[in-house]
Amino acid sequence: MTTRADGTVREDARPPDDAVRPAVAVNAVGKVHGRGGNAVVALDGITLTVEPGEFVCVVGASGCGKSTLLSLVAGLDAPTTGTIDVPGGTPALMFQESALFPWLTVAGNVELALKLHGVGRAERRERARELLAAVHLADFARRRPHQLSGGMRQRAALARTLALRTPVLLMDEPFGALDAMTRDLLHDELERLWRQRGPAVLFVTHNVREAARLADRIVLLSSRPGRVVWQTRVDTPRPRRIDSPETAAIAADVTARLREEVRRHGG
């Protein structure tokens, strides 16, 4: 899938078998909201790739364009300039809110995502059962969302997102509203499922410890307009702990660079 600045989306031809293409390629992308004197430049000349199976976390100050970037990669909006290539097709997108349909059961929410993609009834039920077992919700399949805790609702949302089996998973602060203990447990679940299933992940967060805990690579965006100003690989062996000295040291480095960026732009 290629999203151009004119808003068109093209399904790309399959590359040669020996060609290795990024799972996501953001090429000199800019995004301007509004026109004339009311125009706001959200992103400016961002170039970023995510390799197949890579876990990339994007951090930055509030309003730097992190969520805008995810919307563009997801194809929900078009860039003003540049192109975005997602060779595997439309990515799956998970938000901070679970966005489960309250009138459906947990299983029904997962099955609906599959139904909308043309999966037959018997296969829908089997895949939903497998996914709910994978996120430890097998015993809650017939419950409604309001009967679940916040963490359990996000588990259900993760199962629904993974149901589509896309090679790219986009996550927009999916654990930001959860308490620290629940968030830590969901980090473990996400990492386990990522390692089992192998999607590329582009994960937006304002929590630098979360980024240091999860990422293969951390990318820092400048304050508005968003630009890639720094990135680093995280080579600490997995599994990691969010409270480990190694994670804390990486988070401290990212925080120092983030504070410098905020000071440079006056807050």
Per-residue confidence of the chain (267 residues) as pLDDT tens digits? 666 666 655 555 444 444 578 999 999 999 998 887 788 899 999 999 999 999 999 998 888 889 999 999 999 999 999 999 999 888 999 988 888 999 999 999 999 988 988 889 999 999 999 999 999 999 999 999 999 999 999 999 999 998 888 899 999 999 988 899 999 999 999 999 999 999 999 999 999 999 999 999 999 999 888 999 999 999 999 989 999 999 999 999 999 999 988 887 765
| Closest by Cα among 211, 203, 220, 213 to 64 | 220
Q: Token match 């588990």: residue?
A: 155
| Contacts of 123 by beta carbon, 8 Å cutoff, 6+ apart | 114
| Domains of the chain from N-terminus onward | 2-91+166-264 (3.40.50.300), 99-164 (no CATH)
Distance CA 77, CA 69 (A): 9
pTM of the model: 0.89
